[in-house]
Chains A and B, each alone.
Chain A
Amino acid sequence: MERNLMKGNEALAEAAIRAGCKGFFGYPITPQTEISAYMAKRMPKVGGVFLQAESEIAAINMVYGCASSGVRCMTSSSSPGISLKSEGVSYMAGSDLPCVIVNVMRGGPGLGGIQPSQSDYWQATRALGHGDFQILVFAPSSVQEMADYMGKAFDLSDKYRMPAMILADGLLGQMMEPVTFGSEEIHTPDPALKPWATNGHGNKRKHNIVNSLYLQAEELENLVVERFKRYEIVKSEVHEAECYRTDDAEIVVAAYGSVARLAKAAVDLAREAGIKAGLVRPITLWPFPVQEVKDACRNAKRVLCVEMSMGQMIEDVKLALDCRVPVDFYGRTGGVIPKPSAILEQIKILNEKGAE
């Protein structure tokens, strides 16, 4: 298998093409613009569509239209642009449409900054738009995982008929690492697997309707309840986390994405200093890997959640642990990246505190 030196953003884009993505609709924003640039070059060569929209709002609605017709398609943006897309994401969730949305997070709120951040965790896992709904959220932590989870996001999005998000950050998007792609072939999804698609009934079936409007309250309630039953199936089938040196760990660090790599270095430094430290790294953020986090923390006296935000995933960590283990927080925000030495410092403090 050929190894390529690529930026995270480029690896994502190439993986999407190999996963059979045939429509990319985007709008320029730092730090994800390499995805658009890569797609603009590659898409015409593989018979796909690259279109630069007039706005993020138009881009997600182009995805809505393209996905309605049964074509694998995606959009990508960074934090402020994702806020603009949230209307369209809600409509896609309400119409049971698959698609992939990439958020290469930067500092916020508002225009914020252009340095890496993880401050859109709540937006991704709680409220990417109005109404009762969830989307699948994957958090890669290397350029290789940027590629690996793209194909998976498309497959699971199609399987469960719901939008999926790759939640990365500026660090992962911009850094270069070697990456291999699972297949040289471009996957061609079978259109027959989407009998609901509005791609012309050809006088062979009743007309299909893609819609999220239901004026009868009971009808809408029933549809939402049915969708939430599907979410329960998703929760039972999709949950991934990496556990590192957690078997005997008394101090467990919980971190995702690029920060998890810094936390891993801190765990190694702590072990060298004689502290039984470990790392649990959620890879699926929705559904949250509750059991994996519980298992990783079975011997923990204290848990340290480390994020590039003011503390957002920490709520899910606490919920997973039913508050049976004290969970502390260390984070930097606004685009500041925490140093392993600073994380180590926090581990040492918690180790001294022990299970008070």
Chain B
Amino acid sequence: MPEFRKPHSLTDVPFHYCPGCTHGIVHRLVAEVIDEMGIEGDTIGVCPVGCSVMAYDYFACDMIEAAHGRAPAVATGVKRGNPDKFVFTYQGDGDLAAIGTAETVHAATRGENITVIFINNTTYGMTGGQMAPTTLPGQVTQTTPYGRNPDVEGFPVRVCEMLSTLSGVALAERVTVTDPANIRKAKAAIRKGFEFQKNKQGFSIIEVLSTCPTNWGMSPVEAINWLKENMIPYYPLGVFKEGAIR
């Protein structure tokens, strides 16, 4: 019977995340992949601004804290200067799909050999639950108190679908972590992303549909169910693009 241990690529610093938040699961999956590939010493992670802003304390590889939305540009600078190292970003929906849209799209279309872990929980968690670019139509947030009205606030962004049209993208896959079967699929997708990077085959993005019980005003179980019933119909799981670009 194998012993359940913390991955080596995570430090001993306890996570600060709220109960029921799925950041912890995704951190662990990334760390497990880094451990299994034996690349902790050759990996540089770039954190966003958002709830995972302090991920630099949690990952045991070298870490850089980027300005809000700029992680793909920062990762580009690291990777171009160190093409043989592994570079990943870990970003939320506000960071990646609102303030950092330009950096995301252009790193993708350049085919930067980096892996982007994208947490989509339809809200700005750290600042207290405002509308995100991925907030669903009708969803109530602090800044859409009557529900997101597409006539006023526009429509949610489907990031993987959008990026899948770009020639520089090797992998655009949407997964979730609602149950063990999906967690295993999520880990496999993250591993694929790092493998594409290892072979210098282009940009990879793994979008993880995630929960924010605190700002959704739900229990962890209710949040998981809400994700399944509301997010997956709008953000279908699956691979939107896969294949080496070079």
Contact = CB atoms under 8 A, between A and B. Distances in A.
A207 B77 contact: no
Given A66-B81, A203-B41, A61 B103 contact: yes
Interface string B144-185: 000000000000000000000000000000000000000000
Interface of A: 22-23, 25, 49, 51, 53-55, 57-59, 61-69, 71, 73, 87-88, 91, 95, 198-204, 207-213
Contacts of B74: 61-62, 64-65, 68
Contacts, number: 135
Contacts of A211: 56, 63-65
A67 B80 CA distance: 11
Interface stretch (B42-50, B116-124, B215-223, B227-235): B42-50
A91 B77 CA distance: 15
A118 to B, nearest CB: 29
A207 B78 contact: no
Interface string B51-77: 001101101111111110010011111
Given A65-B79, A71-B82, 18 more contacts: A23-B81, A53-B106, A54-B102, A61-B67, A62-B77, A64-B73, A65-B64, A68-B74, A68-B77, A68-B78, A73-B81, A198-B64, A199-B78, A202-B41, A209-B57, A209-B62, A209-B64, A210-B64
Interface of B: 11, 40-44, 46, 53-54, 56-57, 59-67, 70, 73-82, 85, 102-103, 105-106
Given A54-B102, A211-B56, A62 B63 contact: no
Specify the main secondary structure of chain B where it touches its partner. helix
Contact of B73 (A58, A202, A207, A210): A58
A207 B60 contact: yes
A210 B41 contact: no
B63 A207 contact: yes
A71 to B, nearest CB: 4
A55 B107 CA distance: 12
B14 to A, nearest CB: 15
